[in-house]
């Protein structure tokens, strides 16, 4: 985006919600799965989705305008892109979009939150929200985890703690890279049953232990060669992260190390742009979360007695911050 926006660019920015809302409503309706491999009239689609036909037809035509659907002789079918990425029948299905639809509802409260402060928000939500959140995190994490498994020296790691591990995607990738590695995944009691299902699907149950609890109060255990903390610090307040890193350092074996995978910003907290925007997502979704600067991360490491740190760029947004005991 240029330094100086003209009126047309500002107007486009302000109205860009339209395309997003059209797509997300179609995702929530599971429209693309319904249409995948079929050629259907709006009447038939409305019957299958239990929707109002006249309203649905307007949405269908808009999706054609966006290039996600095609229309021929008053019948609709999925464009190739939609069949590949937006249908649940596809192996490339973008499972993260249902979570994005949930985020929309939180973002709608932004003005009130800025005026009145954060309410008692939670990321856990109901069972469906939790499933969609973990599915979204797994979808994003799995391809990155394979790459990151090469970026971390796992040769001496026999036991790791995966804090807020969610689906366990990073643990499974690391265990595949190192056959002698076992992982302990810590997450909230309402998340761990979902984690266990993913572990079973990955055939990693025998090499994985689980701790149900909140990192603020849970007993981490001892003698971990690595503590891995991915996409967690941005959900917390600074004081919570200070405690988290200190507890993590205390749980390490001699010569163990902590890996933080997350966004880090400049001291002005304005760059990179993606991280600044993501901080707003934490504003509307958490009680204290935001993205933090590299300097703040270094301060948490120093407070925990970490003797040496290094940073590794991943090439896909969040960086790795490694602190050695």
Instruction: Read off the tokens for 156.
Output: 């001496």
Alpha carbons 92 and 108: distance in angstroms, whole number: 29
Residue 234 annotated in active site: yes
For the beta carbon of residue 142, count every other beta carbon within 10 angstroms. Answer: 16
3 state DSSP class of 45: helix
Tokens of 171: 């643990």
DSSP state, residue 8: H
Residues 6+ apart with CB under 8 A from 146: 173
Write the CB contacts of 199 (distance below 8 Å, at least 6 apart in sequence).
168, 172, 185, 205, 208
Question: CA angle, corner 73, sides to 68 and 74, nearest 5?
Answer: 65
Per DSSP, the residues of 76-141 read EEE-HHHHHHT-TTSTT--THHHHHHHHHHHHTTHHHHHHH---S--S--SHHHHHHHHHHHHHHH
State how beta strands 224-230 and 252-262 pair: parallel
Contact between residue 220 and residue 248 where contact means Cβ atoms under 8 Å apart: yes
- The catalytically annotated residue of 140, 234, 261, 290 is 234
Q: For residues 306 and 323, give the distance between their C-alpha atoms in angstroms, rounded to a whole number.
A: 6
Q: At what angle are helices 53-65 and 17-29 packed, to 10 degrees?
A: 120
What separation, in Å, do the N-terminal and C-terminal C-alpha atoms of the chain show?
41
Residues annotated catalytic, as ranges: 234
């Amino acid at each position: 985006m240029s330094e100086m926006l003209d009126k047309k660019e500002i107007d486009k920015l302000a109205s860009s919600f339209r395309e997003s809302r059209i797509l997300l409503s179609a995702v929530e309706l599971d429209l693309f799965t319904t249409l995948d491999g079929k050629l259907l009239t709006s009447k038939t689609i409305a019957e299958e989705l239990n929707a109002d036909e006249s309203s649905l037809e307007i949405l269908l035509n808009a999706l054609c305008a966006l290039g996600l659907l095609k229309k021929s002789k008053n019948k609709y079918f999925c464009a190739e892109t939609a069949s590949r990425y937006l249908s649940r029948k596809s192996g490339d299905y973008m499972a993260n979009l249902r979570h994005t639809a949930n985020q929309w509802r939180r973002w709608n409260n932004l003005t009130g939150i800025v005026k009145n402060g954060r309410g008692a928000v939670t990321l856990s939500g109901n069972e469906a929200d939790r499933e969609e959140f973990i599915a979204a995190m797994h979808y994003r994490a799995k391809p990155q985890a394979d790459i990151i498994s090469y970026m971390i020296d796992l040769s001496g790691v026999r036991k790791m703690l995966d804090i807020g591990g969610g689906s366990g995607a990073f643990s499974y990738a690391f265990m595949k890279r190192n056959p002698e590695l076992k992982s302990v995944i810590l997450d909230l009691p309402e998340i761990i049953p979902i984690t266990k299902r993913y572990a079973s699907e990955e055939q990693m149950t025998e090499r994985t232990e689980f701790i149900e609890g909140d990192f603020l109060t849970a007993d981490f255990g001892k003698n971990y060669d690595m503590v891995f903390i991915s996409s967690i610090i941005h959900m917390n307040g600074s004081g919570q992260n200070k405690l988290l890193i200190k507890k993590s350092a205390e749980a390490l074996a001699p010569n163990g190390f902590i890996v933080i995978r997350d966004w880090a910003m400049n001291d002005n907290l304005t760059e990179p742009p993606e991280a600044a925007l993501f901080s707003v997502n934490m504003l509307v979704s958490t009680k204290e979360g935001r993205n933090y600067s590299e300097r703040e991360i270094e301060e948490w490491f120093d407070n925990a007695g970490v003797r040496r740190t290094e940073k590794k760029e991943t090439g896909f947004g969040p960086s790795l911050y490694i602190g050695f005991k």
